[in-house]
Amino acid sequence: MTSKNKLFFIVAAVLFLVVVAAFQIHKNADDDIIISYIVNPAKQDIQLYWKNDKGEILRSIQNLKTFVESKKAALVFAANAGMYQADNKPLGLFIQNGKTVTPLNTRSGSGNFYMKPNGVFYLTTDDKAVVCETMNFLNNGAIKFATQSGPMLLVDEQIHSAFVKGSSNLNIRNGVGILPNNNIVFAMSKKEINFYDFALYFQKLGCKNALYLDGFVSRMYLPEKKWIQTDGNFGVMIGVVEKKK
């Protein structure tokens, strides 16, 4: 190998290491700010929960965990799943096991939920996950679970036009997006973050659409990452369970 070729390979190797290091630093930076969990809806049991068998609102992740365990299952992941009213009733659409519990909310109003476009996260009977704008939602009878919230974080890969880069509107936030391989990613900020940066996280993952679920009240239960929050006073919650062996 000539000295010229040696120099070329050395330069190429150094550039490669710089790119890898930069990626790792960026990845670690995101990990310090946001905790996330990826779900394969075709292989994992993911559901939306609101009440127990007695008709009592579950409210907290601890109550959800106890309820799941009473069914001889283990709670693998949980998070709050959208905005709710003072009585813990869903503010927007809620479909559970194919039944529409509360209807689609197309009204206008103040607050994050009504920041248009808002949207719906739903699961079909053939285990496909979708995030779409409220105005594009259509119940064709094949929807197993659905929850409505707002605003949309990403619409067709683009960050919501109302979000401002560098905004000082900071808060804890959680949301959901659909990855290019059709898996679901749930994410919650560990620290206060603005809407733009939170949406950017989903955009970097390659999500086409992503939906904001809620703000400072948000909690996540993810024992595999040693993130265990079991409190809360919620409406609908998301849970991923495994049958106990």
Give yes or no for a contact between 187 and 214, defined as CB atoms under 8 angstroms apart. Answer: no
Whether the predicted pLDDT of 21 surpasses 50: no
Residue 119 burial class via C-beta count within 10 angstroms: exposed 0-12, middle 13-18, buried 19 and up: buried
CA 191 to chain centre: 16
What is the pLDDT averaged over residues 227-236?
Answer: 97
CA 240 to chain centre: 13
- 223's tokens: 């024992």
* Single-letter amino acid code for the residue at 93: L
Residue 110: count of CB within 10 angstroms of its CB: 7
pLDDT of residue 27: 44
Distance, in Å, from the CA atom of 95 to the CA atom of 211, rounded to the nearest integer, reads 17
pLDDT tens sequence across 173-212: 999 999 999 999 999 999 999 999 999 999 999 999 999 9
How far apart, in Å, are the Cα atoms of 17 and each of 20, 22, 25, 31?
5, 8, 12, 21
Distance, in Å, from the CA atom of 82 to the CA atom of 234, rounded to the nearest integer, reads 9
Whether the predicted pLDDT of 122 surpasses 70: yes
- 220's tokens: 């996540």
pLDDT of residue 116: 97
Distance, in Å, from the CA atom of 64 to the CA atom of 56, rounded to the nearest integer, reads 11
Whether the predicted pLDDT of 9 surpasses 80: no
The answer to pTM > 0.75 is: yes
For the chain, domain boundaries: 35-243
User: Where does the pLDDT of residue 30 fall: very low under 50, low under 70, confident under 90, or very high at 90 and above?
Assistant: confident
